[in-house]
């Protein structure tokens, strides 16, 4: 298959890809030499339908996963690629990232790398739970809705106990009721409370809210697990020290996401309570999550964690989401469903408008039936993209 690579619209290169199948092919994006290159499919593939998708669309608001690797992460990756280095985490990049994490969080902690967020969540929960335990989480948590049962599978049967709550945040009164019901041998003993910060709906637990959940966990001798796939966005939004919403208030484990912040892959599992990380390395290896060339996961992280790039990227994404939401409201009279506190914007949109925007090439997903759709911004979202989207949505409303 032939593809043409474009640098902001100008064709610069024609390269060949193996004709790999599957839906993943539709979202090929690469950053070469620090420039964003959008790869447009040419020839036969462009005519294919069904599971294989064209890459000619506009994916900027579909997900923060559609963004390219940020320049700093890319440069660090290139640097790590200059020569051979020790494998399985014995390299200097892995050590430097772990040290940087300890500096940023201002504490001694254990740091592990995994390939993605599902593995980070499920394996860290498996470290905390026995099969007869249960995990309190939000009914719309990624654990529940998007991990294909990985937490239950890797814990060998721990149960997710679902709790509601406005805007994706756990309602403590509901959590208390749920825990109170698990009061004897016939039920699964509550062991962990897990929240996402930022939440799946792009909201952020304020310091006092997260402290209340920590207190809830502490009072019941439960562990506190934080899904921080967008932890950087949360810190950028709250403008607080990372320790203030983690170990200082009782978070035991943080899954710190890099992918949505500008790396290609690789999330961190950070144990603030070092007693519970015992033998976690074996768990990772057994689950196929110990990278032999782990330096290529670590080096991009070093790019993020040097000179505050992780915060700069998150601030950019959050700011873009804020501007997008304001313009959607003011110029297109679109309803914003949840407070915009991170890089996600949830909008109410009718079917004809959505169809029209899809026809204009915009990709984004319906999240809640019947009409709530999610738009996401990333480190690479531009004002031009926002303007183009607003212009199309205004046109589609007329
Ligand atoms: C809240 C949350 N947690 C975790 C993840 C990580 O998922 P993945 O396994 O796709 O990296 C995501 C990704 O969308 C997420 O939104």
Give the integer Cα–Cα distance in Å for 343 and 227: 16
What residue's CA is closest to ligand 1, atom 3? 229
DSSP 12-61: EEEEE-----SGGGGG-EEEETTEEEEEEE-THHHH--TTS--S-SB-TT
Helices (H), the chain: 44-47, 71-80, 92-105, 117-128, 142-145, 150-154, 172-181, 207-219, 231-238, 280-286, 295-305, 309-332, 351-359, 383-396
Q: How far does the centroid of ligand 1 lie from the alpha carbon of residue 286, in Å?
A: 21
* pTM of the predicted model as reported, rounded to 2 decimal places: 0.87
Are 110 and 135 a contacting pair, CB within 8 Å? no
Percentage of the residues of the chain whose pLDDT score is greater than 90: 83
DSSP strand pairing (159-163 vs 133-138): parallel
Give the integer Cα–Cα distance in Å for 350 and 151: 35
Reference 131, options 158, 151, 150, 112; nearest CA is 158
Give the integer Cα–Cα distance in Å for 79 and 394: 45
Q: What does DSSP assign to residue 334?
A: P
Q: How far does the centroid of ligand 1 lie from the alpha carbon of residue 262, in Å?
A: 14
Q: How far does the centroid of ligand 1 lie from the alpha carbon of residue 168, in Å?
A: 15
Q: What pLDDT does residue 35 have?
A: 29
Neighbouring C-beta atoms of residue 390, cutoff 10 Å: 18
Question: Residue 373: is it exposed, middle or buried by C-beta count within 10 angstroms (0-12/13-18/19+)?
Answer: buried
Q: How many CA atoms lie within 13 A of 375 on its CB side?
A: 33
Q: In ligand 1, which atom is closest to the CA atom of 146? A: 7
Q: How far does the centroid of ligand 1 lie from the alpha carbon of residue 257, in Å?
A: 8
Instruction: Output the ligand 1 site: residues, CB below 6 A.
Output: 116-118, 142, 196, 200, 227, 229, 259
Q: How far does the centroid of ligand 1 lie from the alpha carbon of residue 229, in Å?
A: 6
Give the integer Cα–Cα distance in Å for 320 and 312: 12
Given a cut of 50, the residues of the chain with pLDDT beneath it are 1-52
Are 267 and 230 a contacting pair, CB within 8 Å? no
Q: Which of 23, 195, 257, 267 has the most ligand 1 atoms within 8 A of CB, as the residue to mutate?
A: 257
Give the integer Cα–Cα distance in Å for 391 and 385: 10
Q: How far does the centroid of ligand 1 lie from the alpha carbon of residue 325, in Å?
A: 22
The CATH code for residues 73-305 is 3.40.640.10
Give the integer Cα–Cα distance in Å for 75 and 376: 25
Q: How far does the centroid of ligand 1 lie from the alpha carbon of residue 9, in Å?
A: 31
Q: In ligand 1, which atom is closest to the CA atom of 227? A: 3
Question: 336 by DSSP, 3-state: which?
Answer: strand
Q: What pLDDT does residue 44 have?
A: 34
Q: How far does the centroid of ligand 1 lie from the alpha carbon of residue 347, in Å?
A: 20
The two structure tokens encoding residue 110: 């254990």
Cα Rg of the chain (Å, integer): 21
Question: Residue 208: is it exposed, middle or buried by C-beta count within 10 angstroms (0-12/13-18/19+)?
Answer: exposed
Q: What is the pLDDT of residues 127-141, one digit of tens each?
A: 999 999 999 999 999
Q: Which of 113, 117, 148, 253 has the most ligand 1 atoms within 8 A of CB, as the residue to mutate?
A: 117
What residue's CA is closest to ligand 1, atom 5? 117
Domain ranges of the chain: 1-49, 73-305
Q: How far does the centroid of ligand 1 lie from the alpha carbon of residue 398, in Å?
A: 36
Q: What does DSSP assign to residue 243?
A: G
Q: In ligand 1, which atom is closest to the CA atom of 65? A: 14
Q: Which of 115, 118, 204 has the most ligand 1 atoms within 8 A of CB, as the residue to mutate?
A: 118
């Amino acid at each position: 298959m032939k593809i043409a690579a474009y640098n902001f619209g100008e064709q610069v290169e024609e390269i060949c890809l193996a004709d790999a199948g599957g839906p993943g092919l539709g979202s090929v994006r690469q950053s070469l030499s620090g420039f964003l290159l959008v790869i447009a499919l040419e020839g036969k593939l462009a005519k294919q339908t069904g599971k294989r998708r064209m890459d000619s669309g506009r994916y900027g608001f579909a997900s923060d996963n559609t963004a390219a690797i940020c320049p700093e992460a890319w440069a660090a990756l290139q640097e790590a690629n200059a020569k051979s280095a020790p494998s399985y985490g014995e390299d200097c990049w892995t050590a430097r990232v772990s040290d940087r994490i300890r500096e940023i969080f201002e504490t001694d902690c254990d740091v592990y790398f995994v390939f993605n967020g599902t593995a980070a969540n499920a394996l860290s929960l498996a470290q905390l739970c026995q099969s007869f335990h249960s995990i309190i989480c939000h009914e719309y948590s990624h654990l529940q809705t998007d991990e294909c049962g990985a937490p239950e599978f890797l814990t060998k049967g721990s149960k997710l106990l679902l709790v509601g709550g406005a805007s994706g945040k756990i309602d403590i009164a509901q959590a208390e009721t749920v825990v109170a019901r698990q009061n004897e041998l016939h039920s699964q003993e509550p062991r962990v409370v897990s929240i996402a910060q930022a939440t799946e709906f792009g909201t952020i637990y304020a310091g006092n809210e997260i402290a209340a959940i920590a207190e809830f966990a502490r009072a019941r001798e439960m562990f506190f697990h934080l899904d921080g796939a967008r932890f950087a966005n949360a810190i950028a939004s709250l403008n607080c020290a990372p320790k203030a919403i983690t170990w200082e208030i009782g978070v035991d484990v943080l899954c710190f996401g890099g992918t949505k912040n500008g790396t290609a892959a690789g999330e961190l599992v950070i144990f603030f309570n070092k007693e519970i990380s015992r033998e976690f390395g074996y768990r990772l290896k057994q689950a196929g999550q110990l990278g032999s060339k782990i330096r290529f996961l670590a080096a991009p992280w070093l790019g993020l964690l040097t000179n505050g790039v992780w915060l700069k990227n998150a601030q950019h994404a959050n700011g873009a989401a804020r501007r997008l939401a304001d313009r959607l409201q003011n110029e297109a009279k679109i309803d914003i469903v949840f407070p915009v506190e991170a890089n996600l914007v949830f909008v109410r949109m009718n079917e004809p408008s959505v169809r029209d925007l899809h026809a204009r090439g915009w990709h984004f997903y319906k999240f809640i039936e019947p009409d709530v759709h999610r738009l996401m911004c990333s480190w690479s979202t531009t004002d031009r993209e926002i303007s183009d989207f607003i212009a199309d949505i205004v046109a589609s409303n007329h």
